[in-house]
Amino acid sequence: MIAIIILVGLLAVILVLALSAAGIYNSLVSLRNRFKNAYAQIDVQLKRRYDLIPNLVETAKGYLKHEHSTLEDVIKARNIAYAASQTAAANPADSSAVKGLVSAESGLTGALSRLMVVSEQYPDLKANQNMMQLTEELTSTENKIAFARQAYNDSVMQYNTSRETFPNVVLAGMFGFLPAELFHVEDAAEKNAPKVSFS
Amino acid sequence: MDFFAAEGRAKKRTTRLLVLFGFAVAGTVVAGYLATVFALQFAHVSGHGRAYYGQFGGSDRYGESGSFDLWQPQVFAVVSVATVAVIGLASLYKWTEFRGGGSSVAESVGGRRVDPHTTDPRERQLLNVVEEMAIASGLPVPTVYVLDAEPAINSFAAGLTSSDAVVTVTRGALQKLSRDELQGVIAHEFSHILNGDMRMNLRVTAIIFGILVIGLAGRATLWGMRYGRFGSSRGKGGGGVLVVLAIGLALMVVGYIGYFFGKLIQASLSRQREFLADASSVQFTRNPAGITGALKKIGGYAIGSSLDTHRASEISHFFFAQTFASNFGGLWATHPPLDMRIRAIDPGFDGKFIEPPEVVDVAREPWSKVPHMPPQAPSPSPQAAVALGAAIAAAAGTLTPEGAAGAQALLAEIPAAIRTAARSPHDAPILVCGLLLDDAEEPRGKQLAAIASDLGGDALHTLQQLEPALRQLKPAHKLPVLQLALPSLKALEPTALGPFAGALDDLVQAEGKVTTFAFALQRLVLRTLSIHRAPSVSITQIYSFQAVTGEISVVLSALAHASSEDASEAARAFAQGAAQLKLVEGKISFLSETDSGLVQLDAALDKLAGASGPIKQRLLMASAHVVSADGVLLTQEAELLRAVAASLDVPVPPLASLSGT
């Protein structure tokens, strides 16, 4: 009789342990997927920016007849960054390709901010419906890039905290949940994204 | 602010409140159990309980000694199962109301889905901001809705899961908030989605509803006893009846007390979730200025975050800011006070809200959808006269695009300083007093003294700033200005109403005579703010035209005299109006000017306020025919007509665009 009670008790304890282990495992998986998704978003938004820039330049061209070099700089920087992103995508493990992308991106950001400063002086351009739409889209894309990085870092922090706290740390080691790295912006210029504002 | 720490604090407090809520539910069960046990004991003592007790299947615990056992597992099991079943069923019922997901909630309050390919710049920006926040919070992009009919600044998120979630903003938020502020508001809503606040709130609401059902069941039992079997069971002795009665009463008390505390905990739970969402908003945007800016604008605009939709009160927990005024020191408020929320993010907040911009942008006002029309020369021809009367009556209570365009043109003619003052809850009462000022020096001095004594010295200062604009104001525009100011007056603190009403009285008295404008102003203000000088108005409705023939005569005669100096001309106008009231045409008579003065009109309108809808409608129609009989709408006619309409609780669009003075 006593043996049966002990057996049932043991089984219950094992069941509770198994259930909580499954819970911890699932929560770690969902946290890991969240930061992976955040990372993918950064890529998506960078591509979107490459697509937007030619349209923006095309619209601005009609108004900025005397600013030809500024416009050409933007297009050139965009093409360089696009090529760099292709190389980086081809070999994601190659750290020099990633570094090249980062510096190309900061070059593009600089060229764009110069264009924005120049177009400040053309009220007609600022009032152009198409231009207003494009700048809104560009602002939004810049924001999305920043938010994607931030979301990546926030979710990495959450994931790391979760996998390092007590009961989880045991399972994390067993199931191979490795610590994740934070995203660091390497170039100082990159930290100061251009403020696109026509107000 | 350290938003991670703030989020942690809010989450901890939520847990504590949820535990408290659990205790409340458990307490309800225990209280119900105890009530049943005592009721059974009572029945036993009165000698008829054994049979009832036997139904619970227990052995006889009530020995000859008369002692009784507090712990009766069978009773406890029955009571707790019954309670849980009632709460469960009630919860299920509430749950089905929301099973349509977030979009059904948004559509039920009049939301319009924003087309993902919209080209409207504001909507485009809104969609972009929502996408940005979806990325920042790591959630799927929700469907976006706009409440086109709401000029206030507010928003809500709805949806039981993040996949069926929707985000809804009011048109006011779309127009009045900057990009950063909108981002802060949307980020706040994303926090509600991320933290599953709607699910939690729905669960709590459902459980509270279940507890309420217990109370209602108790009440129903009591009512049933009162009207039902009392007579038949009296013969057999009252024991059984008394037991049921006691249980019913106990259930009612337990249910209502549980409901009361449940609601209290729910409100405080909701406030904690708001703090959490505000902190998360900063986490997502990394820009405290965005959300604090939005909160400051809500505090600064007279209309704030209050919504018109009646349905909004049911989902008030989901909104960005309070949707209704809350009493009892905010115990029931679903949101913490604005300044507290701002201070939680920015401890250095100086308490200054963002006031609406100095120059009111006419194009962005609520009627912005109407294409702008140039102001038309107001010169109605006599031929148009017949149509005018019908048009006024038909226009009552409706807003047509033409009317809106006229109002827009009218608004543009009113000096900007006055429009700004009319929209500020602080300046509006002073502006309204300023409208009553006489141009002549002698009464004006007395009036200024009255303002200073009733509203304080600051009011005089404000008045001085408004004076040049007030002198420019055309007499015909005074009434529209008053209408602009009415919403701001509604926002006045209850304590400020007394001095304001006193000031109006003093101003009119200082003038020596009551003008039609002063009369209309007082009636409109008092009606709007529901300050009744004398509570003598009968509350019984009058359904018969016959009962108010005297009053109708007074109203129509007063309007007729206002329309023309010439007695025969006035009589003709009166006849035109009277012809509209076929039922009593023979019984109403044209009164002399002294018998239909403002004093008589005042009394007549008080009585007519209690008349039924059809009477009011016909009377307004007749009044409109009287004032339009000669094809010209004088300012004083318009003023009196508006006073009549306000007293009858029938809103009329601004008429000054029709005025021919």
pLDDT category, A15, cuts 50, 70, 90?
very high
pLDDT of res. B352: 78
- Rounded to the nearest angstrom, the minimum Cα separation between A69 and chain B is 30
Question: Which tokens belong to B129?
Answer: 């901001």
Q: Could you give the 3-state DSSP secondary structure of residue B320?
A: coil
- Asked whether the ipTM of the predicted complex exceeds the cut of 0.85, the reply is no
Residue for token pair 């199931």: A175
Please write the tens of the pLDDT for every residue from B250-286: 888 888 888 888 888 888 888 898 999 999 999 888 8
pLDDT of res. B531: 52
Is B136's Cβ below 8 Å from some Cβ in A? yes
Angle between helices A2-61 and B121-137 (to 10 degrees): 140
Please write the tens of the pLDDT for every residue from B221-230: 888 776 655 4
Please determine, for residue B126, whether its predicted confidence score (pLDDT) is greater than 90.
yes
pLDDT of res. B302: 67
Q: How far apart are CA B593 and CA B511, in angstroms?
A: 21
| Nearest residue to B506 via CA among B573, B440, B453 | B453
End-to-end CA distance of chain B: 60
pLDDT category, A193, cuts 50, 70, 90?
low
Please write the tens of the pLDDT for every residue from B403-426: 555 666 677 777 878 877 877 777
Query: What mean pLDDT is reported for chain B?
Result: 76
Please determine, for residue B130, whether its predicted confidence score (pLDDT) is greater than 90.
yes
A184 neighbors A153 (Cβ within 8 angstroms): no
CA angle B5–B9–B14, rounded 5-degree value: 145
Catalytic residues of B: 189
Cβ contact, residue pair A147, B283, below 8 Å? no
Angle between helices B121-137 and A129-164 (to 10 degrees): 20
Question: Which tokens belong to B433?
Answer: 């007093």
pLDDT category, B608, cuts 50, 70, 90?
confident
Cβ contact, residue pair B136, A37, below 8 Å? no
Question: B74-77, long-range: CB within 8 Å, 24+ apart, which pairs?
Answer: B75/B33, B75/B36, B75/B37, B75/B40, B76/B33
- Rounded to the nearest angstrom, the minimum Cα separation between B138 and chain A is 7
pLDDT of res. A16: 93
Q: How far apart are CA B544 and CA B364, in angstroms?
A: 46
Please write the tens of the pLDDT for every residue from B616-645: 778 888 888 888 777 777 777 777 887 787
pLDDT category, B68, cuts 50, 70, 90?
low
Q: How far apart are CA B462 and CA B441, in angstroms?
A: 19
pLDDT of res. A13: 94
Which stretches of chain A sit within 8 Å of chain B by CB? 34, 37-38, 41, 45, 132-133, 136-137, 139-140, 143-144, 147-148, 150-151, 154-155
Handedness of CA B17, B20, B26, B31 (dihedral sign): negative
Q: Domains of chain A (ranges plus CATH)?
A: 2-191 (1.20.1440.20)
- From the list B128, B183, B286, which residue is nearest A150 (CB)? B286
Please determine, for residue B382, whether its predicted confidence score (pLDDT) is greater than 60.
no
pLDDT category, A191, cuts 50, 70, 90?
very low
pLDDT of res. B52: 47
Q: Residue B620: which residues within 8 A CB-CB, separation 6 or more?
A: B393, B396, B644, B645, B648, B650
Q: What are phi and psi of B393, to 5 degrees?
A: -65, -40
Longest dimension (CA), chain B: 100
Question: Which residues in chain B have Cβ-Cβ distances shorter than 8 Å to A151?
Answer: 135-138
- From the list B121, B136, B179, which residue is nearest A147 (CB)? B136
Structure letter (DSSP) for residue B552? H
B218 neighbors B249 (Cβ within 8 angstroms): yes
Please determine, for residue B364, whether its predicted confidence score (pLDDT) is greater than 70.
no
Which amino acid, one-letter code, is at B10?
A: A
Question: Which residues in chain B have Cβ-Cβ distances shorter than 8 Å to A132?
Answer: 121
pLDDT of res. B541: 66
pLDDT of res. B467: 81
The rounded percent of chain B whose pLDDT value lies above 70 is 78
Strands of the sheet containing B155-158, edge to edge, are B112-113, B143-147, B166-170, B155-158
- From the list B132, B138, B283, which residue is nearest A143 (CB)? B132
Question: Which residues in chain B have Cβ-Cβ distances shorter than 8 Å to A41?
Answer: 135
Q: What are phi and psi of B463, to 5 degrees?
A: -60, -40
E strands in A66-177? none
Which amino acid, one-letter code, is at B366?
A: P
How many CB atoms within 10 Å of residue B158? 28
- Rounded to the nearest angstrom, the minimum Cα separation between A139 and chain B is 9
Please determine, for residue A77, whether its predicted confidence score (pLDDT) is greater than 80.
yes
Q: How far apart are CA B498 and CA B375, in angstroms?
A: 39
Please write the tens of the pLDDT for every residue from B166-178: 999 999 899 889 9
pLDDT of res. B299: 84
Q: Could you give the 3-state DSSP secondary structure of residue B144?
A: strand
Instruction: Please identify among residues 172-211 of chain B the ones whose CB lies closer than 8 Å to any CB of chain A.
Output: 179, 183
Is B124's Cβ below 8 Å from some Cβ in A? yes
What is the pLDDT averaged over residues A104-111?
85
pLDDT of res. B659: 38
Is B305's Cβ below 8 Å from some Cβ in A? no
What is the pLDDT averaged over residues A105-122?
84
Please write the tens of the pLDDT for every residue from B273-322: 899 999 999 988 888 889 999 998 888 876 667 776 656 666 676 788 87
Find the closest chain B residue to A149 by CA distance.
B136
Please write the tens of the pLDDT for every residue from A137-178: 888 888 888 888 888 888 888 888 888 888 888 888 888 888
Which amino acid, one-letter code, is at A98?
A: V
Is B3's Cβ below 8 Å from some Cβ in A? no
Helices (H) and strands (E) in chain A, counts: 7, 0
Cβ contact, residue pair A38, B124, below 8 Å? no
- Rounded to the nearest angstrom, the minimum Cα separation between A121 and chain B is 22
Instruction: Please identify among residues 475-494 of chain B the ones whose CB lies closer than 8 Å to any CB of chain A.
Output: none
pLDDT of res. B363: 41
CA distances for B295 relative to A155, B150, B364, B400, angstroms: 28, 17, 20, 33
pLDDT of res. B220: 86
